[in-house]
């Protein structure tokens, strides 16, 4: 089994994809829109994303879409946890993800011999970032 989180937005999926690609230094696959599909949508939603993937080293990290018919609400019970093998890479990604968002726990050395921090990004997604010191 492979778990792929699916992030749903209300017209901001393309903007979020661009943001995460830059912030995390990753890539994305093909971006399909409602206008490219037979799925029902309003005319102003034709460029909204119906499916896209964020890729890390060629593997699917997460999937993205806009919801043409479902109102969304934030779920603070779900946090995305990223574990890094490069401390400097994590620091850069943390600062980029925090742009327009809110740092809820700054990156700091923790008792479990790791550098760890948390933030909520500008799209309302909760992130936890960890680097284990050897």
**Domain boundaries in the chain?**
6-66, 79-132
Please check whether residue 116 is in contact with residue 108, taking contact to mean a CB–CB distance below 8 angstroms: yes
pLDDT digits (tens, 9 = 90+) for 83-101: 999 999 999 999 999 999 9
* CATH (residue range 6-66): 3.10.180.10
Q: What is the b/e burial string over 103-119, where b = at least 16 CB atoms within 10 angstroms of the residue's CB?
A: eeeebeeeeeebbbbbb
* Domain 79-132 CATH (choose: 1.10.287.3510, 3.40.605.10, 3.20.19.10, 3.10.180.10): 3.10.180.10
**Which residues does 36 contact at the CB level (< 8 Å), separation at least 6?**
50
Q: Do domains 6-66 and 79-132 have the same CATH topology?
A: yes
> For the whole model, what pTM was predicted?
0.91
Instruction: Please give the structure tokens belonging to residue 56.
Output: 């890390």
pLDDT digits (tens, 9 = 90+) for 1-12: 888 999 999 999
């Amino acid at each position: 089994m492979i778990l792929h989180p699916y992030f749903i937005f209300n017209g901001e999926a393309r903007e979020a994809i661009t943001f995460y690609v830059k912030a995390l230094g990753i890539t994305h696959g093909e971006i399909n829109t409602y206008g490219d599909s037979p799925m029902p949508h309003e005319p102003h939603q034709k460029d909204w994303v119906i499916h896209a993937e964020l890729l890390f080293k060629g593997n699917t990290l997460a999937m993205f879409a806009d919801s043409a018919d479902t109102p969304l609400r934030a779920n603070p019970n779900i946090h995305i946890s990223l574990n890094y093998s490069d401390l400097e890479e994590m620091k850069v990604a943390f600062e980029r993800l925090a742009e327009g968002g809110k740092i809820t726990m700054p990156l700091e050395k923790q008792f479990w011999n790791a550098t760890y921090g948390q933030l909520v990004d500008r799209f309302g997604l909760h992130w936890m970032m960890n680097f284990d010191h050897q």
